[in-house]
Amino acid sequence: MEDIRAIYRIFNNLKYEMENNGWVYQWHLGDEPIKVTHKFNPPVTPEEFQLFEKYFPNMKLPASYKAFLSCSNGMELFCGEEGRDDYLCYPAPDTDRFNIPFNEWLERYIVCQGHEFWYFLNP
C-alpha cells in the first residue's frame, strides 16, 4: 500500500543521519562495515511536476514517488570512498519488475543497506 508519510519519514531520517554524523555504516556479508554517505539532489518544483504532466499525460507517477521527488529529485545512497560503480533505479510504473509501491521498495532498499533485496529470496 502506498504511504507518502513513509517517504517523508525515510527522507527526514536519512537527512538527520547525514547532518548529525556525516556518515553511516554499511554492512557487507563476510566483510567489515564501511562508512558511507547519502547525497541528495534538490527537490522537483511544482512547475517541473506540471511540465512532466503536460508532456507525459498518460504516465501517472505513484503518489509515493511524487512525494519522494518533492523531497529530492534523486539521491545517491550508500556512497563509499571508492564510489559506486552501479546504478539503481526504481522501475517505471508500466513495468512489472517490482510489484510493490515505491515507499516499500525504498524502505527495503535502505534496510538492506543498498543491497539488492529482491535477490535475497530468489537468487
What is the pLDDT tens value at each position of the chain, 123 positions in all? 788 999 999 999 999 989 998 888 888 778 888 888 888 999 999 999 999 999 999 988 889 989 999 999 988 888 877 655 455 566 555 556 567 788 888 888 888 888 777 777 654
Count the residues in the chain: 123
Question: Do residues 48 and 54 make contact, with C-beta atoms less than 8 angstroms apart?
Answer: no
Question: Do residues 37 and 18 make contact, with C-beta atoms less than 8 angstroms apart?
Answer: yes
pTM above 0.85, yes or no: no
